[in-house]
Structure 1
């Protein structure tokens, strides 16, 4: 009878055990709700009554899951309950590997929009692109009344190794495409890098996972004896990840200045992060490539470098995800809550949620996720076999400096 109370209480007490997906948190227990005595026993009573008297037998766990789902239906699309499998999958993804379909999504006006497909994933192999919208899932039309349920079903099919059928409205042609995806292991390297055009360092930052900062530091050491003319940092189609990694990477490139501010209801959600005085690749021009698939931590990094006048942004307006999520483990369970705990603002105090970051040099490219365009790594010449206008523009800007 008290099992549901424990579930719901975890939502209220969760902030005290938040992990550092986004901000570091000290233990802090929120005050007991004034509605505690009235509301929680009522909810338990409702479930007990249904379990006892409903004409068909209903599993209690199903009722509890339905109650939890109802809670998150009232919140933003980035918050959700993580089952044991989902929690483990997220932890694996932060380490650069997971089993699934290989695309990141967000919701916009009741539609599910692809933020990015991951490289070498089932989604990329099927031709899914940033900006595509899922309009039908397994013959079910997707709209504002069911998109949360559809996202839950996609996660269920992923964790149980079931194929899915998606009907997409393509971002460029607006034509519909029917695709079948089967889940697979997706391995994500945090960076890919190369010297291009003879003396320009190119770093494609694919994910803000646990080793991202270390990977860039390692690459900088390998290039320390090369007289670089410039640096290109590519965060196109990077949907984000660990905010702490975005902050530490920004700190690598900045000698001073504000990186990002977060603002939330509880004390530890309010932080201001500043750069230290040590940096890499100093005194050489830097260009950052962004597009509509650059989201969340990518936007934190891009805005920090742009507004501190360290880098010029080249490409397209970014996705526009200006909220911070924290992973809060549920006490006594192997599950967790992914909860939006704060908004973030850029160094100049700008909120970019649903707006995105505008590039300094706007270069729009269709099908930026096409294999002929990304990633731009060619052993002979970056422009010889796979022309990329955004990379070419960044090279031209560096040459002009």
Structure 2
């Protein structure tokens, strides 16, 4: 879901309050009385929220609306004009405040919850066709036998060639329980139909695996409601797979656009045992928040490298900044995006909502990241990683009749399997990740001396 362009701006949201009462969220802040050089009558502080409506501006607004309706080249109804006015009111505040119509509001809720009604297919576009990248486990798509590489040539009888990925995804999503027919082509064969019923699909935001013996890798693609729980499970799985305490761990936050504030707090809580994680400051009372560790460090204090880049924003920066301030890990990569503002989602009538900036957040040391970003401890820019294959060179142990090792150790001839034919690992083509792994190995060597 995150790869869709339409969701990019929504995914940057840190949804602090979903479903908060509008009256409470809009509670005005009291302003201090101003001082003047000339004596002034004693008056109560002016509350902007209770000030009289600006009648002149309202008259101008009504006049503009009336002129548009009368003179615009095509008829425009009142609803369209008023909705456009509301959108303009929000969009001109800052880049992240917005008016959400029913569709946008639903997509925001899906992106933060990780649940939606669909088939469970990750798709891409190839030669103008919609191609299955991967079916998600335990979804209608995987149960129906849809495979990676299948081309979706029709959706409910309508050809997909020339459609954008967004258009195709919108058609495959829908009401849970409704049936949909996909026409597929597999390996250039004859088209065949598969009929599926939409179901609730849960998209995991955390991926974990071992890079090498002793060194684990956790990637967070977005901060959803269940991300903290998923990181906890990932740490437990890596310990189990390794069979003992890890020597090091890479936490990958690159190109993670953010998400739910509470999820970011929970992730940091898995890596530190005490102290402040993040705090927010705004004008209204419920925007003053402080989040601290609960003492449930699940990482065993394993050496940690955190990868960030210019696509790491919002909640990603909260995690990176907190771990950096606590000196819990080494930040590596390039400067992060620099979105240090908090958006609160305020539901309205008719399935609409306001997404409005209500606060700025600060790292434990009081740093505001807004428009500056997080600077990594070690700057490593991404580059193409290639392996020099020297396996064809003979070594002493390859020579016939060579002497054995004087201490009785086993011979070490040249590698039997060239690097290019070995099983691909995430770090093999990822320069930043390979550098993170090298740093962890160096930390392990110095720690054990």
Q: Aligning the two structures, in what range does the TM-score lie when normalised by the shorter sequence?
A: 0.5 to 0.7
TM alignment of 1:77-92, pairs within 5 A: 77-92=95-110
Q: Does the 8 A contact of 1:121 with 1:184 survive in 2?
A: no
5+ residue gaps, structure 2, are 1-12, 29-48, 129-159, 171-201, 386-421, 444-449
Matched, 1:394 2:436: yes
Could you say which structure has the larger radius of gyration? 2
Distance in 2 between the 1:350 and 1:243 partners?
17
Q: Does the 8 A contact of 2:384 with 2:431 survive in 1?
A: no
Q: Does the 8 A contact of 2:383 with 2:431 survive in 1?
A: no
1:329 maps to which of 347, 352, 356: 347
Aligned residues, how many?
Answer: 303
Instruction: Give per-residue Cα distances to partners, 1:315-344, cap 9 Å, x unaligned.
Output: 1111111111111101x3210011111111
Matched, 1:382 2:425: yes
Match of 1:295 in 2: 313
- Displacement after TM superposition at 1:382 (Å): 2.4
Q: Does the 8 A contact of 2:276 with 2:293 survive in 1?
A: yes
TM-score (norm 2): 0.60
RMSD: 3.5
Q: Does the 8 A contact of 2:14 with 2:342 survive in 1?
A: no
Match of 1:138 in 2: none
TM alignment of 1:71-82, pairs within 5 A: 71-82=89-100
Find the residue that maps to 1:86 and give its secondary structure: helix
Distance in 2 between the 1:232 and 1:391 partners?
8
- Distance of aligned partners of 1:400 and 1:341 in 2 relative to their CA distance in 1, 3 Å threshold: same
Distance in 2 between the 1:290 and 1:75 partners?
28
Distance in 1 between the 2:334 and 2:125 partners?
22
- Distance of aligned partners of 1:38 and 1:183 in 2 relative to their CA distance in 1, 3 Å threshold: same
1:30 maps to which of 27, 31, 42: 27
Matched, 1:207 2:222: yes
- Displacement after TM superposition at 1:272 (Å): 1.6
Find the residue that maps to 2:343 and give its secondary structure: strand
Distance in 2 between the 1:28 and 1:240 partners?
22
TM-score (norm 1): 0.67
Match of 1:144 in 2: none
5+ residue gaps, structure 1, are 1-18, 100-118, 127-162, 166-179, 369-378
Instruction: Give per-residue Cα distances to partners, 1:269-299, cap 9 Å, x unaligned.
Output: 1112111111111231011111111111000
Match of 2:279 in 1: 261
Match of 2:360 in 1: 343
Find the residue that maps to 2:50 and give its secondary structure: coil
- Displacement after TM superposition at 1:85 (Å): 0.8
